[in-house]
Amino acid sequence: MRASGLFLVTGILVLIMAGSVQAQSVRPLRILCIGAHPDDCDVKMGGTAALYAAMGHQVKFLSVTNGDAGHYAQGGGVLANRRRAEAEEAARRLGIAEYEVLDNHDAELVPSLEVRKQIIRKIREWQADLVFAPRPNDYHPDHRYTGQLVQDAAYLVMVPNVVPDTPPLAHNPVFLYLSDRFKKPNPFSPDIAVIIDSVVERKLDALDAHVSQFYEWLPWIDGRLAEVPADSAARREWLRAQWLRPNITQEVRLALMRWYDPEVATQAQHVEAFEICEYGHQPTEDEIRLLFPMLGKQ
């Protein structure tokens, strides 16, 4: 990158001159999180999405499958429609712009050319500055293949002759991995950590909207359905205990220390972490602070 000049960097006009950086917003940031199922994005970056939305940026969640297999008593179109409605309610609770659910069958996703083209179109249509997706190593094949599909699209979103029915992006987005616990072949490496303590209740609201998943399907498959309280208030607190326990690893705490004041980083309870994908635009530290304007603020 040159030492001076004008650059349009993922929706923000950056003037770099004599080592100093000044930024003027051209438009709100446009953030796209791509998950395999209609609750994945909420789990991995619901809090960060709420922070972006509260700051006036445009956030979209995209589910690559319709979730029509994720239940023990329902399935097919009935379940897909239910999960789509739950996703829309979760978006409303988070304050994000949109939650789109594609009509690919749950548990049948493969990294095909057809689905790759779907992903390319969606990234282009949203004019995404940042794209979040799972890493391509995970217990669920839909998660793995969603990560693979987004990786496969990362360069092609700028190629005019690929999916020519949708105009290519002029600038490659920054692609980031959502966090996971898997160690092989490589563990997740947190490059960026966002404190979500101020919006953790909104994240809980979003998870609570996915009734079919967090109060029915996931407890059932874990053999714990009988533990779910019938009372809505008690059920919400049960959900908090299951999904929002403070559990910050040493690696994530070190990432917090990089982006926040030490005292703030030390006191943080709820955090969402992300790894920069080696495909797509590789941001500088100054660009990261522009693309994650909540860093350092809490």
Least confident of 23-37, 129-143, 164-178, 234-248: 23-37
Torsional sign, CA 109, 110, 114, 119: positive
The dihedral formed by the CA atoms of 45, 274, 37 and 95, expressed in degrees to the nearest 10: 20
List C-alpha distances in Å: 203 to 31, 49, 243, 270, 286: 17, 9, 10, 11, 28
Q: Is residue 296 part of a domain?
A: no
What mean pLDDT comes out for the span 134-158?
97
DSSP state of 122: H
How many structural domains are present in the chain? 1
Res 247: pLDDT: 85
Q: Is residue 297 part of a domain?
A: no
DSSP state of 283: -
Q: What angle do CA 61, 65, 68 make, to 5 degrees?
A: 120
What digits encode the pLDDT tens for the residues 248-265?
999 999 999 999 999 999
Q: Which has the closest alpha carbon to 37: 74, 76, 84, 72? A: 84
Query: Range of 252's domain?
Result: 5-291
CATH of the domain at 267: 3.40.50.10320
Is this prediction's pTM over 0.85? Answer: yes
Q: Is residue 298 part of a domain?
A: no
Q: How far is CA 221 from the centre of its chain?
A: 24
The dihedral formed by the CA atoms of 263, 205, 61 and 277, expressed in degrees to the nearest 10: 30
What digits encode the pLDDT tens for the residues 74-96?
999 999 999 999 999 999 999 99
Q: Kindly indicate the confidence band of residue 26, based on its pLDDT and cuts at 50, 70 and 90.
A: low
Average pLDDT over the chain, rounded to whole?
A: 92
- Give strand pairing partners of 174: 130, 280
Q: Which has the closest alpha carbon to 250: 236, 264, 228, 265? A: 265
Q: How far apart are CA 197 and CA 47, in angstroms?
A: 8
Res 298: pLDDT: 58
